[in-house]
C-alpha cells in the first residue's frame, strides 16, 4: 500500500514518529496537498460508528492510483489543493507499507458517500474483487486508524538521487530504517484521458 506526500512534509512525519490521520494532526502539513473540500468530505463520511474517514491514515492500493495519476498528469481533480496543483510529481515521496497493517479497505474514493468499507472477512473478499477489477483497484484505499508508525514503512520511493539523499538524511539517528529507492516510473507524468 502507498501513501503519497510532499517531500517537505516528511520532516514533520519523522519528528512525529508516524504518519498521522488528519484528525490527529496538531497543525497542517508544510505542503497540504488535499483541498479543504476533500478534507471536509473525509470528515463527514463515517467508516464505522464515531470514526470518520479523517480518523484514518489513507493509503492507495496501487502506485498508479487514479488520484495520484491525476496529480502527475495534465489534469488535476478538485481533490488537490491549489498548492498541490503548483507542484511537480518529483517533489513527492511514496511511503510503502504492508497491507496487513490496514484493518479497513474502501472499494473506491473513501471521501465519496457511495463508497463501501470492508473489515474482517469482508476485507479479504473485497481485496480479491479489487485485484481482478483494475480500475476499481486504482481508486480503492486502505485505511489505518489514527497513526502508521515509521517502523512499518518498508520502502520510500523517490524520483531522484537528490531526493533519496534528502530522505536518508532525515532518517539518520532514528530506529526506523526504510529502504529508500529511486524509482522514476512512479513519478512520471500521465497523459490525460478523455
Binding residues: 3-5, 20, 42
Asked whether the predicted pLDDT for residue 42 surpasses 50, the reply is: yes
- Higher-confidence residue of 76 and 41: namely 41
Q: How far apart are CA 88 and CA 16, in angstroms?
A: 25
CB 74 within 8 A of CB 189: yes
User: Which pLDDT score, from 0 to 100, does residue 192 have?
Assistant: 57
Catalytic residue IDs? 42, 141
User: Which pLDDT score, from 0 to 100, does residue 73 have?
Assistant: 82
Asked whether the predicted pLDDT for residue 106 surpasses 90, the reply is: yes
Eight-class DSSP state of 34: B
Q: How far apart are CA 115 and CA 16, in angstroms?
A: 30
Q: Express each pLDDT in 89-100 by its tens digit.
A: 999 999 999 999
Q: Express each pLDDT in 124-170 by its tens digit.
A: 888 888 888 878 889 999 999 999 999 999 999 999 999 999 999 99
**Continuous segment of H or E residues that includes residue 51:** strand 51-52
**Cα–chain-centroid distance for residue 165?**
22
Q: Is 190 helix (H, G, I), strand (E, B) or coil?
A: coil
User: Which pLDDT score, from 0 to 100, does residue 191 have?
Assistant: 67
- Higher-confidence residue of 138 and 19: namely 19
CB 130 within 8 A of CB 107: yes
Q: How far apart are CA 121 and CA 176, in angstroms?
A: 31
Q: How far apart are CA 139 and CA 69, in angstroms?
A: 11
Q: How far apart are CA 151 and CA 124, in angstroms?
A: 24
Asked whether the predicted pLDDT for residue 194 surpasses 60, the reply is: no
CB 181 within 8 A of CB 155: yes
**Of 156, 170, 167, 149, nearest in space to 57 by CA:** 149
**Continuous segment of H or E residues that includes residue 104:** strand 104-106
| Per-residue CA distances from 132 to 2, 71, 104, 128, 137 (Å) | 19, 25, 19, 7, 8
Q: Express each pLDDT in 61-96 by its tens digit.
A: 999 998 899 888 866 678 889 898 899 999 999 999
Binding residues for NAD(+): 3-5, 20, 42
Share of residues in the chain with pLDDT > 90 (%): 71
Amino acid at each position: 500500500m502507498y501513501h503519497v506526500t510532499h517531500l517537505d512534509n516528511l520532516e514533520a512525519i519523522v519528528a512525529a514518529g508516524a504518519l498521522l490521520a488528519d484528525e490527529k494532526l496538531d497543525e497542517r502539513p508544510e505542503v497540504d496537498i488535499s483541498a479543504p473540500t476533500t478534507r471536509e468530505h473525509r470528515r463527514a463520511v463515517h467508516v464505522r460508528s464515531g470514526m470518520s474517514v479523517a480518523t484514518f491514515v489513507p493509503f492507495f492500493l496501487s502506485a498508479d492510483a487514479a488520484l495520484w495519476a491525476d496529480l502527475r498528469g495534465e489534469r488535476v481533480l478538485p481533490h488537490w489543493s491549489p498548492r498541490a496543483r503548483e507542484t511537480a510529481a518529483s517533489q513527492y515521496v511514496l511511503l510503502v507499507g504492508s497491507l496487513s497493517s490496514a484493518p479497513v479497505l474502501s472499494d473506491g474514493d473513501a471521501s465519496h458517500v457511495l463508497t463501501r468499507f470492508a473489515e474482517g472477512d469482508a476485507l479479504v473478499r473485497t481485496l480479491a474483487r479489487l485485484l481482478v477489477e483494475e480500475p476499481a483497484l486504482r481508486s480503492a484505499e486502505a485505511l489505518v486508524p489514527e497513526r502508521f508508525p515509521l517502523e512499518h514503512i518498508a520502502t520510500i520511493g523517490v524520483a531522484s538521487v537528490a531526493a533519496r539523499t534528502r530522505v536518508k538524511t532525515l532518517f539518520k539517528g532514528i530506529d526506523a530504517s526504510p529502504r529508500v529507492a529511486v524509482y522514476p516510473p512512479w513519478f512520471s507524468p500521465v497523459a490525460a484521458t478523455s
